[in-house]
Amino acid sequence: MRAFSTVILLGLGFLLGSSSVMAEVKSGSDSEGIAHAVPKGDFEPFGWSVDLALFAFLIFGGLILVLQRFAWKPIMEALTDRENALQKVADDAAKARTDAAALRGELDEKFAQAGDQVRQMVEEARRDGQALREEILGRAREEIAAERDRMTRELETAKDQALLEISLRSIKLSGLLTAKVLGKQISEADHARLLDEAIVDLDQTMAVTGAR
C-alpha cells in the first residue's frame, strides 16, 4: 500500500506538471490572441482545459499500466520478501531469547544441584573421616591393651622364673649349709623332699601374691 500511494502521488505530480507545461506552451503560442481576448487581470497561468486534462490522464493511466505490468509484481515481491525477512529476524530473536532464558534456568538448576551434591559429599567425607578416626582409635586401644596384657604376662612369667630359680638356689644352699652343720651329706631323698617343700611354699607364695 505504501508503494501504491507513492506511485499515485508521483502520478498526480506528473499530471499537475504536465498540465502546467501544456498550459504555458499554449499560452505562449496564442499569446497575441489571448492578450486582446482576455483581460490582463483575469489571466490564469495554471488554468485547466479538457484536452490537456485528458492527455495527462492518458499518460498517467499508461504509466500505471506499465508499472503494474512490469514493476508492480517485483516491487510487491520485494516488499513481501523484506517483510518476511524482518518477521523471520523477529521470530529468530524471540526464539533466541526464549532459548537463552530456558538455558539460563537449566544452568541455574544444575548449579543448585551441583551445590547440593558438593555439600552432600563434604558431609559424607566428614562422617567417613569421623568413623575412620573412631576405628583407628579403637584399633589402637585394642593393640595397646593387648600389648599391655602381653607385657604383664611376660613380667609375671619372668618373675615366676626368677622366684623359682631363687628358690632352687636357696634350697641348694640350705642343703650345703645343713650338710656342713651336721657334718654329713644329705641324701638324694632328703634333697628331693626339701625341693618339694620349697616348691609347695613357692606355689603358696605365688598364689598369695596373685591374689593381692
Q: Are residues 16 and 97 in the same domain?
A: yes
In the DSSP assignment, the letter for residue 49 is -
Contact 175, 194 (CB under 8 A): yes
Residue 126 lies in a domain: no
Q: For residue 165, what are the CA distances in angstroms to 189, 195, 206?
A: 20, 12, 14
- 156 vs 71, residue with greater confidence: 156
Q: Are residues 95 and 174 in the same domain?
A: no
SS (H, E, C) the chain: CHHHHHHHHHHHHHHHHHHHHHHHHHHHHCHHHHHHHCCHHHCCCCCCCHHHHHHHHHHHHHHHHHHHHHHHHHHHHHHHHHHHHHHHHHHHHHHHHHHHHHHHHHHHHHHHHHHHHHHHHHHHHHHHHHHHHHHHHHHHHHHHHHHHHHHHHHHHHHHHHHHHHHHHHHHHHHHHHHHHHHCCCCCHHHHHHHHHHHHHHHHHHHHHHHHC
Q: Are residues 94 and 183 in the same domain?
A: no
For a pLDDT cut of 90, what percent of the chain falls above it?
A: 17
Number of domains within the chain: 2
SS3 state at 185: coil
Q: Are residues 93 and 187 in the same domain?
A: no
163 is in which domain, residue-wise?
155-211
Q: Are residues 96 and 6 in the same domain?
A: yes
pLDDT above 80 (res 16): no
Contact 56, 21 (CB under 8 A): no
Q: Are residues 7 and 98 in the same domain?
A: yes
> What pLDDT is stored for residue 5 in this prediction?
55
Residue 146 lies in a domain: no
Q: Are residues 36 and 96 in the same domain?
A: yes
Residue 167 binned pLDDT confidence (cut-offs 50, 70, 90): confident
Residue 185 lies in a domain: yes
Residue pLDDT, tens place only, 24-51: 444 444 444 444 444 444 444 445 577 7
Q: Are residues 79 and 163 in the same domain?
A: no
Q: Are residues 97 and 159 in the same domain?
A: no
Residue 43 lies in a domain: yes
Residue 195 lies in a domain: yes
Q: Are residues 82 and 9 in the same domain?
A: yes
Residue 56 lies in a domain: yes
